[in-house]
Structure 1
Amino acid sequence: MKSNRPKYHQIIDAAVRVIAENGYHGSQVSKIAKAAGVADGTIYLYFKNKEDILVTVFQEKMGQFIERTIDEINNRKTAIDKLATLIEMHIKQLSSNHHLAIVTQLELRQSNYDLRIQINQVLKPYLTVIDNIIKEGMEEGGFREDLKVPLVRQMIFGTVDEMVTNWVMKECKYDLIGEIPLISELILNGICQKE
């Protein structure tokens, strides 16, 4: 399987760096190959074209991102704790990898329609995790009963996503991790059951 090969991972990691530093349109396959320390032709053993590299980067990195988030969430007992953990994990994981944050928050969004459709498919499992936490919280009685799951999911994802995007746009010049408690508090205050 290609994902077990070291060169495949070298190319993925190099692509994240090159795309973050040069933008998607300024990232020729030859630049990615050079950064990965492989011949140009080696890239085509693993990927059809540059677009395929970008989608695969997102699939690989988002897959790891979702896996880590689920692992942490599974250690929490209540939906409130799970949601606070998801918010924290989302922000911490992207703020710890500046290049990946640039690629996910800026470069992927400038891509063409077909590419965005593929990217949305990769995001679906993550959005399902958020949906499940919301439903669990409503069943437990920790979240309000009248919540519309798709609306709340958009609110949660939209908030954390915009926080990371803004941090990237401001060249990461402030402490995003320090904002996590307030972000969590504001989101949870909107959806938690009032005593």
Structure 2
Amino acid sequence: MENKAKPKYKLILDAAVEVIAENGYHHSQVSKIAKKAGVADGTIYLYFKNKEDILVSLFEEKMGQFVSKIKEEIERIEKADEKLYKLIEMHFRQLSEDPSLAIVTQLELRQSNKRLRFEINEVLKDYLALMDDILEGGMKDGTFQAQLKVKLVRQVLFGTLDEVVTNWVMKEQRYDLVDQARDVHYLIYNGLRKHN
């Protein structure tokens, strides 16, 4: 979509993150988002169909950047357990650096309707595939147990990361989220690693 390259598109999405984090999705009128972005209300409809479209686009855009950064870093790493650590650490780091986005992803996206959740799950597929790649690579090279059920392990991994971030958001970000990475990696890696 050509709109994505336009500066106002990004401006509106960034404003939407802040407005939704501050007011909650249901109390975030398009007019509030427009005001925060410094554009006229009508300008928003040049880029988005409605508020729901803003939320999905915001998640697509931010998650796309998120996954690209993680992929880029992981490609430089050889060992599966180090790739796993890097994914965990970057998941926490990226959300801790953007607390408003963390509030939106952990709390506001959960309150959306079924169709919206389906679209969000579509966006997550690349991230989940990246987790699968790390797990499968580790099973092939003998780092992880060979009989692991990849989809189940991925659910446990994603669920753990998700819950740790949600807890951090609920505790009003009073502690360092990235500090949790080593312990989370230790727990998960020790459950997955091949025991000799």
TM-score bucket of the superposed structures, by smaller chain: over 0.9
Shift of 1:137: 0.4
Percent identity of equivalent pairs: 61
Match of 1:118 in 2: 119
Match of 1:107 in 2: 108
- Measured in 1, the distance between the counterparts of 2:173 and 2:14 equals 20
Q: Is 1:47 matched up with 2:48?
A: yes
| Mapping of residues 75-154 of structure 1, within 5 Å | 75-154=76-155
What amino acid is the match of 2:17? Answer: V
Number of equivalences: 195
Shift of 1:3: 1.3
- Measured in 2, the distance between the counterparts of 1:119 and 1:177 equals 25
- Measured in 2, the distance between the counterparts of 1:50 and 1:175 equals 32
CA RMSD of superposed structures (Å): 0.6
Match of 1:37 in 2: 38
Shift of 1:194: 1.4
Q: Deviations over 1:27-86 (max 9, x none)?
A: 000000000000000000000000000000000000000000001101100111111111
Q: Which runs of 5+ in 1 are unaligned?
A: none
Shift of 1:110: 0.4
Determine helix, strand or coil for the equivalent of 2:57.
helix
Determine helix, strand or coil for the equivalent of 1:25.
helix
Shift of 1:135: 0.6
Match of 1:74 in 2: 75
Q: Which runs of 5+ in 2 are unaligned?
A: none
- Measured in 1, the distance between the counterparts of 2:156 and 2:128 equals 11
What amino acid is the match of 1:11? Answer: I
Q: Deviations over 1:150-192 (max 9, x none)?
A: 1100011010110000000110011211111111111100001
| Mapping of residues 9-24 of structure 1, within 5 Å | 9-24=10-25
